[in-house]
Amino acid sequence: MAGMERILIAGGGIGGLTAAATLLLAGFEVAVFEQASVLAEVGAGIQVSANAGRVYRALGLMEAIEAAGVLPDAYHFRVFDSGDVLQTIPLGEGYRERHGVPYVTIHRADLHRLLVEKVRSLDPAAVRTGCAVTSFAEDAHGVIVTLADGSTERGAALIGADGIKSVVRLGVAGPTAASYTGDAAWRVTVPSERLLPAYRSRTTDVWAGPGRHAVTYPLRGGALMNLVGCVEYAAWEDESWTTPRPWAEMRADFEGWHPMITAIIDAADRDQCFRWALRDREPIGGWSTGRVTLLGDAAHPTLPYMAQGAAMAVEDAAVLARTLSLEPDVPAALALYQRNRIDRTARIVNESRANRALFHLPDVPSLRAAFDRRDMNAERSAWLFSYDPTTVELLDA
Ligand SMILES: Cc1cc2nc3c(=O)[nH]c(=O)nc-3n(C[C@H](O)[C@H](O)[C@H](O)COP(=O)(O)OP(=O)(O)OC[C@H]3O[C@@H](n4cnc5c(N)ncnc54)[C@H](O)[C@@H]3O)c2cc1C
């Protein structure tokens, strides 16, 4: 594709902004349309593994991400009440040596801000807020996007990076219902100074228990502790990341758990406990038309049980920028992108679902037996963390 063609992106989340930055660096003109009036992310943490970190490094952001976050020493899988370690993935400097980039936990708002700054440093006018994409139409020469105010924009291609409720996906793939996975996720972030020193942990911990699990890790150099608690609920409402729920409900959900978990919940501001029903979609065989494609949660929403949803969006963005740079014909470039992303992202969706069963086993002997049969470090290093979206050979199968 000639370098100066205009690419339209619906959505200014982590995926859309990473796509914008990689495309701008590759020489494209980019227009990002974000429905929110202010560019922002919620007050929660996110884990950045090496497969995503390599893209951030290529954007020149890895040092800033590292400085804003924490390099946890290890990733522990633990028993929910005793805290006994079932298995460990070493992180810290050893992980950096092995993978070339560190494993970082970072506040979402900090990561999002760094991406916004990067995009604006490349093109101050690239991101437009308060611009919801409502529909699109394409012809042999380009795509026309209609915004909520009725205005239209034209480009050579449209990337739907508009999340799990994607309007662009509806146009590309038709109605494909997102199904409730049976779990809802609590999230709280508390100042570490409210916790006993013993609970100001420098590790990422998955606490596995009957019918639920919790994930804890530090943020902002250790100043904050992040807790996500995923609980099986038969009934669900269409909650969002920003829907507060009664603190007492969260406390009751983790009654009898390890004192570190209950201490974090006890330290939370009572009106700052949020819960979100988790939904995913069956992987699909295609998410592109001629000049329109999807990335991130719009393409392959997943349970967060491998901490890989945003990482897949970032990988998608890097591979898409490469195929658009390599292939002058837009439909061929989008098809090449899709061929190179479908299997890997479907694997994440399916393995994340499998982790739900693993993390929620009904008793401790079953948990121990299941973890004894697996080596999470070897498995994840072999195919997940070692993938480099910036250089991986593009298969044209
Ligand atoms: C509890 C939990 C923990 C997680 N932890 C991790 C983790 O540790 N590591 C990890 O990699 N992933 C994690 N994830 C997954 C990750 O949060 C998502 O996969 C990621 O945010 C998806 O990014 P995205 O850019 O595709 O979509 P989104 O972040 O949903 O962004 C979509 C953007 O599009 C905008 N938008 C929507 N509709 C329109 C429209 N019509 N027009 C214009 N703009 C629109 C939205 O306002 C939003 O800004 C976690 C998820 C959950 C729920």
310: Cβ contacts below 8 Å, ≥ 6 apart: 14, 15, 46, 48, 52, 296
| Residue 376 three-state SS | helix
For residues 381 and 88, is the Cβ–Cβ distance under 8 A?
A: no
For residues 307 and 49, is the Cβ–Cβ distance under 8 A?
A: yes
Report pLDDT for 5: 87
Report pLDDT for 4: 53
User: Which whole-number Å values give the CA distances from 249 to 80, 224, 265, in the listed order?
Assistant: 18, 22, 11
Q: Kindly give the number of the ligand 1 atom that is closest to the alpha carbon of 230.
A: 1
Residue 114 Cα to ligand 1 middle (Å): 16
The residues assigned a catalytic role are 217
For residues 137 and 153, is the Cβ–Cβ distance under 8 A?
A: no
Ligand 1 proximity of 16 Cβ (cutoff 6 Å): yes
| Residue 144 three-state SS | strand
| Residue 14 three-state SS | helix
What whole-number distance in Å separates Cα of residue 90 and Cα of residue 92?
Answer: 7
| Residue 45 three-state SS | strand
Residue 82 Cα to ligand 1 middle (Å): 33
Q: Whose CA is nearest to atom 26 of ligand 1?
A: 296
Report pLDDT for 151: 98
Residue 297 Cα to ligand 1 middle (Å): 6
User: Which whole-number Å values give the CA distances from 40 to 44, 92, 113, 300, 375, in the listed order?
Assistant: 12, 29, 8, 22, 37
For residues 8 and 157, is the Cβ–Cβ distance under 8 A?
A: yes
Amino acid at 284: I
Q: How many residues does the chain have?
A: 397
For residues 81 and 42, is the Cβ–Cβ distance under 8 A?
A: no
Residue 293 Cα to ligand 1 middle (Å): 17
Residue 164 Cα to ligand 1 middle (Å): 7
User: Which whole-number Å values give the CA distances from 259 to 81, 195, 196, 376, in the listed order?
Assistant: 8, 11, 10, 26
Tell me the two tokens of residue 267.
């330290």
Q: What are phi and psi of 392, to 5 degrees?
A: -55, 140
Hey, how many other C-beta atoms are within 10 angstroms of the C-beta on 35?
18
Report pLDDT for 239: 60
Hey, how many other C-beta atoms are within 10 angstroms of the C-beta on 289?
16
Q: Whose CA is nearest to atom 25 of ligand 1?
A: 15
For residues 279 and 218, is the Cβ–Cβ distance under 8 A?
A: no
What whole-number distance in Å separates Cα of residue 115 and Cα of residue 311?
Answer: 14
Hey, how many other C-beta atoms are within 10 angstroms of the C-beta on 327?
18
- Could you tell me the sign of the dihedral formed by the alpha carbons of 259, 260, 265, 266, in that order? positive
13: Cβ contacts below 8 Å, ≥ 6 apart: 41, 112, 161, 163, 296, 297, 313
Ligand 1 proximity of 53 Cβ (cutoff 6 Å): no
Q: Kindly give the number of the ligand 1 atom that is closest to the alpha carbon of 313.
A: 26
Ligand 1 proximity of 252 Cβ (cutoff 6 Å): no
Report pLDDT for 396: 84
Hey, how many other C-beta atoms are within 10 angstroms of the C-beta on 10?
30
226: Cβ contacts below 8 Å, ≥ 6 apart: 44, 45, 105, 187, 188, 189, 215, 216, 217, 218, 219
Ligand 1 proximity of 159 Cβ (cutoff 6 Å): no
pLDDT tens-digit profile, the chain (397 residues): 544 589 999 999 999 999 999 999 999 999 999 999 988 777 799 999 999 999 999 999 999 999 999 999 999 999 999 999 999 999 999 999 999 999 999 999 999 999 999 999 999 999 999 999 999 999 989 999 999 999 999 999 999 999 999 999 999 999 988 889 999 999 999 999 999 999 999 999 999 999 999 999 999 999 999 999 999 998 777 666 777 899 999 999 999 999 999 999 999 999 999 998 999 999 999 999 999 999 999 999 999 999 999 999 999 999 999 999 999 999 999 999 999 999 999 999 999 999 999 999 999 999 999 999 999 998 998 899 999 999 999 988 5
Report pLDDT for 386: 97
What whole-number distance in Å separates Cα of residue 318 and Cα of residue 310?
Answer: 13
The pTM for the full model equals 0.97
Which residue from 288, 286, 327 is spatially nearest to 158, judged by alpha carbons? Answer: 288
